Amino acid sequence: MALISEGRFVEDSWRRLADEEALPKTGEVIVSLPRLEHALEVLGTESSLGVIVPNTTEPSSLIQALPRLQLISISFPAFSDGRGFSLAALLRRAGFKGELRASGRLVADQYAHAIGCGFDTIEIPDDLADRQDEEQWRVALNTYSMSYQRGYAGRGSILEARRRAARS
């Protein structure tokens, strides 16, 4: 899998554990949603904990765990299934400050929208990364300087810009 951050392919320091793997005492680990409660009980503060969730997850099921989580990876089963974008925005509204990762078959054209919804990183399969290189992702990130939605990327919305201009 290739990891994209700020328009560049980067190394992934997180380790995704299979459900049958033992939980390590230290390090950055990602567990499945069914395994999250156990991981929260067992892992100490010397471990960084992440969880991978389906895009159909109810945000309320993660609220109690948000302060302990450093990463939430939301699965995108297909580029045409946008429910993960809504889940990301809801998790940011709920106060999640850690890394939000979109994981699946997203395309570069969706990158700016993903950032606006609150995602920090995108994880795509290697075959997709071979077809859409780093340059395509970098260009896609900078395609729009503003959007109609108030996002989490700090770029501001078109409505906010119009309000500022009207006050001037």
For every residue of 17-50, DSSP letters joined together read: PPTTSPPPSSEEEEEEGGGHHHHHHH--TTEEEE
Nearest 10 degrees: CA dihedral of 71, 40, 55, 100? -10
Whole-number Å distance between alpha carbons of 80 and 26: 37
Q: What is the pLDDT of residue 141?
A: 82
Which domain covers residue 158, as residue numbers?
Answer: 2-167
Positive or negative: CA dihedral 29, 34, 40, 43: negative
Q: What is the pLDDT of residue 166?
A: 87
CATH number of the domain residue 40 falls in: 3.20.20
Total domains in the chain come to 1
Q: What is the pLDDT of residue 145?
A: 64
**100 close to 88: Cβ distance less than 8 angstroms:** yes
Q: What is the pLDDT of residue 59?
A: 95
pLDDT tens digits for the chain (168 residues)? 999 999 999 999 999 999 999 999 888 999 999 999 999 998 887 789 999 999 999 999 999 999 999 999 999 998 788 899 999 999 999 999 999 999 999 999 999 889 888 999 999 999 999 999 999 898 888 776 666 665 555 556 667 778 888 888
